[in-house]
Amino acid sequence: MDLRGADMQILEWQDRYKAVCKENDRFHKLFWLAARDALFFATWNEKSQQWDDGWHPCLNCNDFFAPAADAEGIPDENIDHHLDLLIELTKKFDHYGPLAWIALRRNEEPWKGADFYPDEYREAKKWLIERGGWNE
């Protein structure tokens, strides 16, 4: 192998390493949210709108928009952006942050009315609207 071939191989390894680090960072974000009961994994594929053999991240919103089990998928597009935002929301507003994110994405209010929930829900929704980026 000549020097150029070795350089190319090193560049390929660097690219693979960067990809693994990015994927590892994404897994860390997903499991950080799962450890706080904001997120779980399901076989419902939001993109194809069908069940499959994969595992897809969903936000739990049981009994919030309806008196029933409910969840919201996280879009594959810009997933790192959404995960960063959901982590920030969870740190600032506990589980009311992700619920506000879902409410804005669905353009829907809680079935019991926003005033039924603590101030954290309304503050999270206001913070998201002012900050932007929840619908990207």
- DSSP line for 36-101: TTSEEEEEEETTTTEEEEEEEEEEE-TTTSSSS--EEEPPSTTHHHHHHHHHHHHHHHTTHHHHHH
Question: Is the overall model pTM greater than 0.85, yes or no?
Answer: no
**pLDDT category, 21, cuts 50, 70, 90?**
confident
Mean pLDDT, residues 30-35 taken together: 95
User: Could you report the per-residue pLDDT of 79-130, keeping only the tens digit for each?
Assistant: 999 999 999 999 999 999 999 999 999 999 999 988 888 899 999 999 999 9
**pLDDT category, 17, cuts 50, 70, 90?**
low
